[in-house]
Structure 1
Amino acid sequence: MEDKTITMPVIALRGMTVLPKMMIHFDISRSKSIAAVEKAMIGDQRVCLVTQKNSEEADPGVDELHSVGCVALIKQLVKIPNNVVRVMVEGQERVELLGLDSEEPMLVGEIGTLTESEDSLDYVTRQAMVRILKEKLEEYGKENPRMLKEVFPNLMMVTDLGELLDQIAIQLPWDYKNRQKVLECVLLEERYETVMRNLLTEIEITRVKREIQGRVKENVDKNQKDYILREQLKVIREELGEDNPLSDADEYEKQLKALKADKETKDKIHREIERLGAMPGGSQEANVLRMYLETVLDLPWKKVSKDNNNISHAEEILNADHYGLEKVKERILEYLAVRVLTKKGTSPIICLVGPPGTGKTSIARSVARALNKQYVRISLGGIHDEAEVRGHRKTYVGAMPGRIVEAMRQAGVSNPLMLLDEIDKVSSDYKGDTSSALLEVLDSEQNVKFRDHYVELPIDLSNVLFIATANTTQTIPGPLLDRMEVIEVNSYTENEKFHIAKNYLVRKQLERNGLTEEQVSISDKALEKIIHNYTREAGVRNLERRIGDICRKAAREFLEDKKKAIRITENGLEKYLGKEKITFEDVNEEDQVGIVRGLAWTSVGGDTLQIEVNVMPGKGTMQMTGQMGDVMKESAQTALSYIRSICPEYGVADDYFEKHDIHLHIPEGAVPKDGPSAGITMATAMLSAVTGRKVEAKLAMTGEITLRGRALPIGGLKEKILAARMAHMKRVLVPDKNRPDIAELSKEITKGLTIIFVKDMADVLKEALVSE
């Protein structure tokens, strides 16, 4: 706390702080500082020492000086050449610099004395602090033996807390900034915390420094020892006349001679081998280089396998492995025929796109078998680091080549079939854009000299047959999609699923569960019921799981009940699979007002979508429920605008929509729905609800609507038509521009359905609304 105010000469110190009871000498050369010393010597020989905030400042003002300094007694003064004065001072007490008069030839300050306060600390607390400080000093001394001998005996004799705190800051080799912090702490509690914090930091720094020095010395000693022993062993072998075994470099040179690669590649590898030969055997860099050489020497630079170019053989294998998928097989055979004729791998990269479980991965495996190619699969799902594709720089710790190069190494030949699985699920983050890294891999103009960051040599990928798979093209970036030729793998019909289950899946699951066809058989009716009532999917993955469930339960029956043969029939399915899991929403029994059946595409195939509209007295608002997406909401607004424009033709009053509210709902509200293809369906439901006209119950429709009522084409028709058949619809309305899509569908899909093509809403309403 402040006691009184005095005036005395001030010396601004640069890069130094003086504490009470600190004896130190320093040189001064500034004229103002010399004048301050001379004035002090005339008087009581006392001067105020204050540290500058910026040591570069030549003529500091009060703002450039710390507010707390130390009054010191000048013990000795010696003038030395070049106008320099060397003084020895002894710090006496803390003071506060209240003001500064720099007009005189020296700095004169208004000083407020500060007195330490111990009132807040009792005797026991002060003694505890003293003991803790001395314990930490002993710990510090163990890390600094020299300090332990020279400094610590004097510190250990100090019993006063304030004096001990100051002496620690004086005696230990601390930076002047840390000493200034101690000087500014007038209260003992604050000074104790500051000194303790610095002391603990110094202990930790010293410990870490000793550990680092120890590890470095150990490594140097080991390398030196290894070198000496290696040289001694070399001399001993020469004296004994023994042949020196091949070194690592010699072994790699031997492998390089047998490697099939171009001259540029061999020269680069040879230079790396020479570098390895010049390195100490146990060095870290030598280990990194060994791993690199093992990788590049394992790569199949010009090693190829002989392809089977018999297209008929390929067709037999594709037909044996897969039922249906006629268009997919046809396109793949065309693709293979072009490769055989051109003898080049620069044809477009195939991308098989379709729902899960439709056989995309197994088609690629069949193609590899048909062509007698090595098959390697790279799963791209969830990859977000560009280095996964291009590899890491080999200078990094734990560096490794990318997945493309690793797959080539695994295949052992430079012309394998490489499956890029789930290419639509690659992602990007701060580590790089993975999809952009794949552009070079899949571009036939660039992949002739693909560069992996780890290998650092051009690798020819033009002979690799790339096949990619994806569930949808929506999430594949445009530039990447442009480099691939998309082949749609559509959903299976129930008839196709039946043949796949009967010819492939049952046999596969019987073998997997240790059973034979004589032991377990599944009737055709049972298979049809499993497909219709126990699975709901575009592919056959869940169907295979259900057959596997039956086989496992049958295997248990054989062991427990000692049965010789088990036949699973339609009526006995509940015993093995439980209650029916899937129920399809069937056709409505009678025509109704405001209810229309739409058709939707989902990731597990097609489905029917019942759209309901109610009209009630209100203020002209429209409410939409059923988890509708933005696109579907816009379609609903477009449909409403169109209906309002044609309502006068149906005798609806002009102010009808101002006095009534419309509520549009799509059941299964927990399932998100989006897309424009329900546009004509919603428009029909709205008009039916407004006019009171019924809509035919056995009719379904799909199509996008425009503001003027035109019906625009949509996608996913195969799945939608299948869904209409499942719901036992009789007629389906399809946009006229979808005629080519309907023409490609097999008769099995459209059997029992009347497909009606509509150009606009007038055609839709003519077919949908029941005549009064």
Structure 2
Amino acid sequence: MFPLPHLALKPREKLETGFLLPLRNIVLLPGVTLPVVAGRPRSVSVAESVMMTEQKQVIIAAVRPEAVQKLEKEEKAEIESLEELYPIATLAVVHKMLRLPVGPIQLIIEGQERVRIEQLLQTEPTYIVKFERLPNLTVEAAIAAGAQQQSIQALTSALKSLWQEAASLNPNFPEEVLTVLLNIESPAQLAYQTAILLQQEVPKMQTLLEQNDLELLLRQVLADLQKEIEVLRLRGEILGETKKEIDQQQKEFFLRQQLKKIQEELGEVDSEKQEIEELRSRLATANLPEPAEKQAKRELARLERIGSASAEGGVIRTYLDWLLEMPWNKTIEDNLDLQNAREVLDADHYGLSKIKDRIIEHLATFKLKRMARNEDTETEKPERHDERYSVGTVICFVGPPGTGKTSLGRSIARALGRPFERIGLGGLRDEAELRGHRRTYIGAMPGRIVQALHRAGVKNPVIMLDELDKIGMDYRGDPASVLLEILDPQQNYSFRDLYLDLDFDLSQILFIGTANDLSRVPAPLLDRLEIIELSGYSEEEKLAIAEQYLLPRQIEKAGLPANAVQLSTETLRQIIELYTREAGVRKLEQQLGTLCRKVAVRYASGETTPTIVHPEQLEELLGPPHFWREEKRKVSRPGVATGLAWTVQGGEILFVEAVLLPQGKDLTLTGQLGEVMQESAKLAYSYIWSNADALGIDVSAFKSNGLHLHVPAGAIPKDGPSAGVTMVVAIASLLTNQPVRTDTAMTGEIDLSGEVLPIGGVREKVLAARRAGITRIILPKQNEKDLAEVPQDAREKMEFILCDRIEQVLENALVRRQMNQPVV
């Protein structure tokens, strides 16, 4: 809001009195003639009063935006104060008034000069104000104020040149308007006329009216006109390109028609007819199902009518290609020799005996189903269609990265003799990626399932749905819901892709899923999967895998002879311990690939003698070790316990630290703990407090001290109930001043009654403890059965203590000093 100068500061002789006409959405500039409408009662009264005066002068002021909103909402609202108007206005002359039979009065007004409204004297029945005339923006006044005459002349000339360019870019620009603009001699008048023709918003126009510097006024208007010309130029380019494309299409059409006539005169075969005949011939030999054949004939007839040269013809031709190339009835005979399947799995993967057994069971069921189908082919009922090929739920491999989930799917396909197709679902959010796009959309394509079948060339390939736990969902749909139909044997025999718009039988496909974290797989989808878990590998298993699979593969990838790189068992063991820390073997393979590439450089330089890599050379070839050989604490002190955790990457050890806060209060938790882990900490705290007497702890230690519980690596989110036992031990160790054994790690869920409840991921946690050099593990009693999953060498070299009460855990975890010696 502009400040209104006090009337006492102005000489009385400079102030004049006049009628005021407020206008919405219009700013009148000096020298500009506009038609305006007076519709509200006070505005009509102002118009009538002005026409009765001799000079017919009126002050035209623009209404502020907030006041405009009020006037638009209330039909009878009027301007009541100067705060609702812009103070800088225009003194105008009314040239003509037209009174309509019904409705408002129309005025033709011309702006004369700028004024400043000083005081609103009257609002009823007309607006009367006191105002002061402002100096005109002349060249002489600008030069007197310090402006350069050359600058003003250059700006004026530039404005006229831009108007000439604007007229050339706009064929509808009136020539008489351009003539008027080019003949204007006053720079200010040219600027005002330019602003009116650009039709800018009220705040912008008001800024120009309030401008007291002629040179700045010209520069502002010049910049606005340049922007408008850029828009006109870009519009012309777009229209030109569009017209060129249309002309090219018309030219191609006429040329094709002429070529068609020439070919008819010469007796040559029409290429378009030849294409139609070729499609008809392919259709006759395609052996399509009846619905697909009817659809293909209908689309072929449409293509023959409209021709393939049109845009729609191209869409139809692409659709027919997909329709004719899909393997509607083409299958490949399975190799159901279970002994061959066992040999293939053993050749491709080390260990995983239980997983291989489960795969063989799956293939055995599939074989028996096939045999039963062959026997009942003649008598099978249509309603049992969904059971013809189904072998139960779809198997899904779940485990950390690098454990061989995808390669197991490839091995299954190789054992069966089927083509293998992988569909990556990571980050998939649009369900049309699976179900296809409707042909009404530009660039429509079939879904990924149909594309995989098209690539495989048969209707019974092995399709791996990779990364089921990384499917997303947004406004484009829920891909997981589409997967329910694809994987469900009760539905997938009539899967309808939106692009093909025909039912396709997916029941003969062997689907295999993979995931890292089952908690992120939607529950309805999880219900249709049979989970096969792949745990992490032990050190001995990694050693065997590296020797038998990884190293020979990396030597071959590097283009080296088979014996070019030789690694001793100790060298491989150090690579596993010091350069990788993972559940799978992907990082291990990357490190072996690095070694092979180092040797490849030597071979390429002419040194072709086999390279034997010794352990002491690893730092030179692979850099400093990435991990310490052992991660367990070397010095034990009260308040620190070692726990075990499961992550998507495999097992890990974690430390729980507890300290007393003198004169503190309550329990403080840090380390980015999740809700479940925070509840475990509160349970541990409450259990120790409630059983303080039995544990030899002075209850006053709780009342006069706070307790801070911390899990290091605070940048990593942590959650899960299995840290409850570790937290109890850490707190008890602190309050009894008894350290925890550094060779012992523990895991287990707790409750307030002191029970130790079972947990998951025992194999991964045991392997993580062994990697850290821990030899004793405390487990819940109910997890005894899970020790069968732990590798034999780990079971032989580690001690497992099974507990079902917290008292047993404390007895085996704490280094006893003097019993019942409280910490005060």
TM-score per shorter chain, which class?
0.7 to 0.9
Q: For residue 375 of structure 1, what is the aligned residue in structure 2?
A: 420
8 Å Cα contact 1:47-1:73 kept in structure 2: no
Q: 1:15 to 1:311 in 2, by over 3 A?
A: same
What are the Cα deviations for residues 197-248 of structure 1, in whole angstroms up to 9, with x where unaligned?
7645654554455445544543444344333333332222222222223445
Code of the residue aligned with 1:719 in structure 2: it is E
C-alpha distance 109-231 of structure 1, shift in aligned 2 (>3 A): farther
| Number of the residue aligned with 1:327 | 354
**Aligned mate of 2:691, from 640, 643, 646:** 646
CA distance in 1, matches of 2:568, 2:44: 114
How far does the alpha carbon of each residue in 1:514-568 deviate from its partner, in whole angstroms, 9 at most, with x for none? 4445554433444344434443221222332333344344455556685654545
Q: 1:302 to 1:285 in 2, by over 3 A?
A: same
What pairs with 1:18-417 in structure 2 (closer than 5 Å)? 44=54, 46=56, 63=79, 70-74=92-96, 91=110, 93=112, 117-118=136-137, 121-122=142-143, 124=149, 126-144=152-170, 147=173, 149-165=175-191, 181=205, 185=209, 196=222, 199-200=225-226, 203-204=229-230, 206-247=232-273, 248-279=275-306, 282-343=309-370, 344-345=389-390, 347-417=392-462
Instruction: For 2:130 and 2:664, locate their aligned partners in 1 and report how far apart those are by CA, in whole Å.
Output: 82
Distance in 2, matches of 1:83 and 1:525, equals 105
Letter of the 1:606 partner, please give it: G
Secondary structure of the 1:93 match is strand
Matched-pair contact (CA < 8 Å) for 2:59–2:91: yes
Within 5 Å, give how 1:683-762 maps onto structure 2.
683-693=728-738, 698-726=743-771, 731-745=776-790, 747-762=792-807
Shift of 1:350: 1.6
Q: Residues 697 and 133 of structure 1: is their aligned pair in 2 closer, same or farther, counting only changes over 3 Å?
A: closer
Question: 1:500 offset after TM fit, Å?
Answer: 1.9
What root-mean-square deviation, in Å, do the aligned CA atoms of Structure 1 and Structure 2 show? 4.9
Structure 1, 227-236 or 371-380: larger mean CA deviation: 227-236
**Structure 1 gap ranges (5+):** none
Of 629-638 and 187-196, deviating more is 187-196
C-alpha distance in structure 1 between counterparts of 2:98 and 2:742, whole Å: 116
Would the alpha carbon gap of residues 277 and 633 (structure 1) be closer, same or farther in structure 2, given more than 3 Å must change?
same
Counterpart of 1:70 in structure 2: which amino acid?
Answer: A
Residues in 1 aligned to 2:639 and 2:443: alpha-carbon distance in whole angstroms: 66
SS at the partner of 2:808?
helix
Structure 1, 523-532 or 608-617: larger mean CA deviation: 608-617
Deviation at 1:83, TM superposition (A): 11
> With structure 1 as the length reference, what TM-score do the two structures score?
0.82
- The percent identity for this pair of structures is 38
| C-alpha contact (below 8 Å) 1:448/1:462 kept by paired residues | yes
Give the conservation status (yes or no) of the 8 Å contact 2:137–2:188. no
- Secondary structure at the aligned position of 2:519 is classed as coil
Q: Which amino acid aligns with 1:363?
A: L
- 1:697 Cα deviation after fit: 5.6
**More divergent stretch after superposition (133-142 vs 738-747):** 738-747
CA contact (8 A) 1:348 1:484 kept: yes
**Aligned partners of 1:269 and 1:439: how far apart in 2?**
29
- CA contact 1:28–1:84 (8 Å) conserved in 2: no
Count the aligned residue pairs.
762
8 Å Cα contact 2:750/2:757 also seen in 1: yes
1:679: how far off?
Answer: 2.0
- SS of residue in 2 equivalent to 1:358: coil
Task: Answer whether contact 1:617 1:661 (CA < 8 A) is retained.
Answer: yes
Query: Aligned pair in 2 of structure 1 residues 202, 628: CA closer, same or farther (>3 Å)?
Result: closer
In structure 2, the CA distance between the partners of 1:655 and 1:250, relative to structure 1 (3 Å rule), is same
1:681-719 CA deviation, whole Å, 9 max, x = no partner?
332343344334565565443211111110010111112
Alignment partner of 1:185: what SS? helix
Judge which range, 677-686 or 85-94, deviates more.
85-94
Letter in 1 for 2:176: E
- Contact residue 155 and residue 222 of structure 2 kept, 8 A: no
C-alpha displacement of 1:580: 5.3
Question: 2:92 touches 2:113 (CA, 8 Å); kept in 1?
Answer: yes
Letter of the 1:371 partner, please give it: L
Give the 3-state SS of the residue equivalent to 1:121 in structure 2: helix
Q: Distance in 1 between matches of 2:486 and 2:107?
A: 76
Q: Which runs of 5+ in 2 are unaligned?
A: 6-13, 371-388, 819-824
Counterparts in 2 of 1:197 and 1:581: CA distance versus 1, 3 Å: closer
Whole-angstrom CA distance in 1 between matches of 2:704 and 2:72: 83
Question: How many Å separate the matches in 2 of 1:506 and 1:20?
Answer: 88
What is the CA–CA distance in structure 1 between the aligned matches of 2:685 and 2:103, rounded to whole Å? 97
Q: C-alpha displacement at 1:357, in angstroms?
A: 1.3
Q: Is the contact made by 2:308 and 2:317 (CA closer than 8 Å) also made in structure 1?
A: no
TM-superposed deviation, 1:616:
7.8
Pick closer, same or farther for the CA change 1:451–1:200 going to 2, 3 Å. Answer: farther
Counterparts of residues 288-687 of structure 1 (less than 5 Å): 288-343=315-370, 344-345=389-390, 347-556=392-601, 562=607, 564-568=609-613, 577=622, 581-585=626-630, 594=639, 596-609=641-654, 611=656, 613=658, 618-619=663-664, 622=667, 628-660=673-705, 662=707, 664=709, 673-687=718-732
| SS of residue matched to 1:378 | strand
8 A Cα contact 2:453 2:461, kept in partner: yes
Q: Partner of 1:538: helix, strand, or coil?
A: coil
CA 1:522–1:140 in 2, change beyond 3 Å: closer, same or farther? Answer: closer
For the residue of structure 2 that corresponds to 1:218, the secondary structure is helix
Q: Secondary structure at the match of 2:395?
A: strand
Question: Is the 1:510–1:516 contact (alpha carbons within 8 Å) kept by the matching residues of 2?
Answer: yes
- 1:164 offset after TM fit, Å? 3.3
Deviation at 1:365, TM superposition (A): 0.5
Q: Distance in 2 between matches of 1:392 and 1:40?
A: 68
TM norm structure 2: 0.77
Range that drifts further, 292-301 or 155-164: 292-301
Q: Distance in 2 between matches of 1:426 and 1:715?
A: 25
3-state SS in 1 of match to 2:520: coil
Residues 288 and 99 of structure 1: CA distance in aligned 2, closer, same or farther (over 3 Å): farther
Q: Deviations over 1:57-91 (max 9, x none)?
A: 9x9986599986731345xx9999x9999999784
Report the alpha carbon displacement of residue 364 of structure 1 after superposing the two structures with TM: 0.5
Question: Which amino acid in the other structure matches residue 117 of structure 1?
Answer: N
1:629/1:672 contact within 8 Å kept: yes
Asked whether the 8 Å contact 1:68–1:184 carries over to 2, the reply is no
1:468 positional shift: 1.6
Cα offsets for 1:647-691 (capped at 9, x unmatched): 212443332333455555556677654432232233234334433
